[in-house]
Structure 1
């Protein structure tokens, strides 16, 4: 039994503390790198592609994925001016500021406006782009011919979460303001499906949306008829840490880029973006419609989807095993008899209390929140730059361990009390009783729950996109944000998830049948004495 305790303890130590000593080379902070964060799914400012054409840059941590767009080209000029290597770190919008403040990136080049609210948290350079606000709607909408904000009276309008776009919606008289959306992918899906009548955006994004989808149109208001904005609201600048000494250097570099050159770079980005260059609508009409579109998406992004699926499986399998070990360790500890030594008895009470707090916290809070707190909190508090994959393994393992602790405890107490009493009657110690009698039965009882946790973990890795872990969901979001084919892209992603979960369920059932098989038990034949 001591060997089991030591094995479980070592496993728990590895899961909890191993991540603090491992960091990938691309997430370090060498002086010769300029690391910028962006969504890589906001065309034409930034997008994801699978080749380095049009001067695209490899995405950090993913050798088969590249970032292109206006932001990337401007970031390249800044890096060249600083005599540094450009490193593009893909990060979800809500994670950009935490990543910058925690030192995981050196700047935000993601079409971000230098609003007064954001200036309280970070500094901004001089603007590197300026654009007007527009509203994107459907061509068959009652509001497609709107010329002013008054014409949008009664329309269901939304915008991206945590942007000033959402606040200007209140300027529309009688507007039916909808819940803010996480990203443009979600807004375009809502618009196409009729859930909303339109969303507020910037001119380059509006041009992109209407070029790709013939069913959409962009409302470009005349002067004085559109949204009233402050100059900084329609400007785009590089976000940097407060009091960053490189801020003035970046400003000097930007001042050397003329307005004509900036316009030329944006025009080229609109032309180069994969969604417009693919001419998907024409291809659909000439080569099989919807099925051909699915084929195009798979051929273009299939490798990224497979890599994302592989990472999803790695996180799910490792975390299920590690979480089960954590649960076994805690479950066994909580069944130990109370020590008669007052000091050991007190320590045991304290340990049980701490374990209870751990269980309640990780079962009572969403994994997405845990990911944000652990990943960015560790960097802010302890200056530890954790590798994203290792952070994902840690987060899901600790979360799974909290659930498995209660599952294991329930499985142990589900074993009949007579088993404990019989083992004690023949002189077994507590360790021998747990190892030889109780745990084999408990593990059999909780096997379906372990399988259920593995299926949940396969699906729940999607929430790790908040810290930009390159799992299947993250890769699907990047692809959909680039090609704007949301239904088709996420149908493919959903099918891959279904294959993985069905495979995991099938393997679990085979394991249960193997354990339940008569061949897994030792038959003891009774010897006869000749009496019938």
Structure 2
């Protein structure tokens, strides 16, 4: 490990003494998430009490040591790995990625650091549990991970019932356990892990002539690096120094040391929930804290944006031609902003803003900063229309009365209109807060470490999907109910007493 000053390379955008590696940290035994540094796990970038372990991490440690750099593990969703690499957010992908021809058109690959065999994971009680060849899976509902070679070979199964590809292995395992699919294509290490953890699953291996027909590169995994990266040759030399025996030993240790392998047999639901909380509770709390930070900050910022836009769009038209033109131009630009951010999914906005800024302008945003920016701008677009409706709800007579006593437009808005607007839109602000708490989940596409991201990492490691997401769902419910209750109390406070005593004039003869 080299210790020195942090000088930033303009092309790589990362400190020169760091080797930043992207991986899912949820694809055991290649990579997973744990809450300690046991078995040589490495602290994940930008997180506390969250470590990455696994075969990929061990390979990354050896490469970083050979390069004389400090290893930094950057947790990244699968779909975001290539954009993160090409944008300079990471220096390499070490995530069980196959060097397919399609990927080689975008990034370069090193020599392979592992070679595996394709298998099919199915249920033990399935009619396909005793299959020995691909032909035995005729009529089966089979899928694979999105944007991977695994899904592309599904068509080699005769009369297969195609299922849409799924985002990650966590989703496929849940679908398999629930009977939605009959099996999924995977690599042998993942299949071994799945069957070790879930006794209801089995892994089907095939003889070479009866299984998937693949090219060598299809079953190999290699390190992805940017096009024409001069470090590719250096990394190849480091990999060449890791013998086949050592690589096998590293994989065997990864399967043995992964957190899911240490689980006990059958446990009650309550015992399982307690175990998950004891192992990953701190990560869930950190994720929940970040979720609340993003939701509350973005709601406040979005409301301020909405108020500013609403006030601007109600300005009286100027008599000066240039000022009138600028008003129309500003109104036109604000209309585009509102329509674009209301008319596109936040997930797409996150990808475009986070990776697009890095690719186009070399701006490498911190993930949390990016999340705050994305959700605030998105919320502002919605709040702008809500504020506009709130302003229109104020009686026109109040505008006319203010004008009659000589108040300017700014004074009218500040002292008369906006206080009423804020009260009128409080329910909508509360709704936006609840929506933002839930919608932070889509930010996992840029690997923001919110509650959903931490839950996905935990479930991808312990394979207890129902139990893990039951806990995550309950935490979301507590947050949304608390936010709703607090905002209702705020509404009540602003409204004042629920009832006022009406003082009537006494009837003649009464005292």
TM-score range, shorter chain: over 0.9
Which structure 1 residue ranges, 5 or more long, are not aligned? 1-22
Among 418, 433, 447, which residue is 2:412 paired with? Answer: 433
Distance in 2 of aligned mates of 1:333 and 1:173: 63
Of 416-425 and 219-228, the range deviating more from structure 2: 416-425
Secondary structure, in 3 states, of the residue corresponding to 1:422?
helix
Among 353, 374, 378, which residue is 1:399 paired with? Answer: 378
Q: How far apart are residue 527 of structure 1 and its match?
A: 12
Q: How far apart are residue 151 of structure 1 and its match?
A: 0.4
Of 411-420 and 464-473, the range deviating more from structure 2: 411-420
Residues 524 and 243 (structure 1 numbering): CA distance in 2 closer, same or farther, change over 3 Å?
A: farther
Tell me if the contact between 1:374 and 1:395 (Cα under 8 Å) persists in the aligned partners: yes
Residues 316 and 134 (structure 1 numbering): CA distance in 2 closer, same or farther, change over 3 Å?
A: same
Tell me if the contact between 2:304 and 2:380 (Cα under 8 Å) persists in the aligned partners: yes
Distance in 2 of aligned mates of 1:367 and 1:520: 43
Distance in 2 of aligned mates of 1:362 and 1:500: 25
Distance in 1 of aligned mates of 2:505 and 2:349: 60
Tell me if the contact between 2:80 and 2:446 (Cα under 8 Å) persists in the aligned partners: yes
Among 401, 409, 431, which residue is 1:422 paired with? Answer: 401
The answer to whether structure 1 residue 413 and structure 2 residue 392 are counterparts is yes
Secondary structure, in 3 states, of the residue corresponding to 2:153?
helix
Secondary structure, in 3 states, of the residue corresponding to 2:206?
coil
Distance in 1 of aligned mates of 2:468 and 2:154: 30
Q: How far apart are residue 423 of structure 1 and its match?
A: 1.6
Which residue matches 1:64? 49
Distance in 1 of aligned mates of 2:193 and 2:20: 27
Q: How far apart are residue 356 of structure 1 and its match?
A: 0.3
Tell me if the contact between 1:35 and 1:89 (Cα under 8 Å) persists in the aligned partners: yes
Distance in 2 of aligned mates of 1:464 and 1:159: 23
Which residue matches 2:212? 227
Which residue matches 1:14? none
Q: How far apart are residue 430 of structure 1 and its match?
A: 1.1
Q: Normalising by structure 1, report the TM-score.
A: 0.91
Which residue matches 1:356? 335
1:10-409, aligned counterparts within 5 Å? 29-279=14-264, 281-282=265-266, 284=267, 289-409=268-388
Which residue matches 1:455? 434
Which residue matches 1:18? none
Tell me if the contact between 2:13 and 2:88 (Cα under 8 Å) persists in the aligned partners: no
Distance in 1 of aligned mates of 2:329 and 2:239: 58
Distance in 2 of aligned mates of 1:177 and 1:253: 41
Q: How far apart are residue 384 of structure 1 and its match?
A: 1.2
* C-alpha RMSD of the superposition: 1.9
Tell me if the contact between 1:455 and 1:504 (Cα under 8 Å) persists in the aligned partners: yes
Distance in 1 of aligned mates of 2:399 and 2:497: 25
Residues 103 and 526 (structure 1 numbering): CA distance in 2 closer, same or farther, change over 3 Å?
A: farther
Distance in 2 of aligned mates of 1:518 and 1:402: 34
Q: Normalising by structure 2, report the TM-score.
A: 0.95
- The runs of 4+ residues in structure 1 deviating greater than 6 Å are 523-528
Distance in 2 of aligned mates of 1:527 and 1:392: 60
Residues 328 and 524 (structure 1 numbering): CA distance in 2 closer, same or farther, change over 3 Å?
A: farther
1:412-435, Cα deviation, whole Å (9 max, x unpaired)? 011111111122222222112111
1:457-476, aligned counterparts within 5 Å? 457-476=436-455
